[in-house]
Amino acid sequence: MADTDNQSGAIRLQAYLARCGVASRRASEAVILAGRVKVNGRTVVELGTKTRDGDVVEVDGRRVEPEERKLYLALHKPEGYICTSSDPQGRPLAKDLLPESVTERVYNVGRLDLRSSGLIIFTNDGDFAARVGHPSADIEKEYLVDSTVPIPDRLFEDFRNGVTIEGVFYRCSAIERLGRKSLRVVLVEGKNREIRRVFSAFHLHPQRLHRVRIGPVLLGDLKEAASRPLTREEIDALLSSAQGER
């Protein structure tokens, strides 16, 4: 289904929220279903709702409008920060590490869990986030992992060929040993906590889980807690790599 009706100019509410920098389209659906959105003073919880020019859209009581400046940022997330817009437990937010000059409402494309570190991308471009962050995008993500104990050869073999854990199938795109307790692994599907679940199945615990690449974007020498804008070439390469929403 198209986001915009070409005849009336109406746009699906979740797409409008994404263009306002509230969240990605998929995450905006959850915001709508939670009853946090009003259109012209009326709370809306139907995902099929569309908004038109002149409508007043509010999220959590604050009016939101499409932002003129599109931002695409790479952040080196330290361990101990979470990738979410807010946290009832008061834990540090990765987005708060971005420079004060970033006044737009940006959100992360994909996630790194609390104990993981490394590269994460932020944007306020909902169309970009939908394409790059969609499960079908087939964009590689590369990690360096250190274990608390030596890693058995069997893990490499099973992860490379595919292993089913509690009914979920996991298979990496590439994997290589870097040392007795360390490895490099490349994922494409990026299922939730995939590396940690595979390690756990072998009674292992990652001492460090560090993402160093998302598709063509490298973490490089970006310092911890620092960020930088993506280059136009990186943005175009990410979009070219993504299969897009199906």
Q: Which is it for strands 141-147 and 168-170: parallel, antiparallel or unpaired? A: unpaired
Residue carrying structure tokens 């920060």: 81
Active site residues: 113
Beta bridge partners of 51: 11
- The continuous run of DSSP H or E covering 109 comes out as strand 107-109
CA distances from 140 to 28, 127, 206 (A): 25, 19, 20
Nearest to 229 by CA among 63, 106, 89: 106
| H helix or E strand, kind and range, residue 236 | helix 232-241
Which one, of 224, 177, 178, 215, lies nearest residue 81 by Cα?
224
Joined together, the tokens standing for residue 91 give 């834990």
The β-bridge partners of 174 are: 186
DSSP string, 165-200: ETTEEE--SEEEEEETTEEEEEESS--TTHHHHHHH
Look up residue 67 and give its two tokens.
């932002």
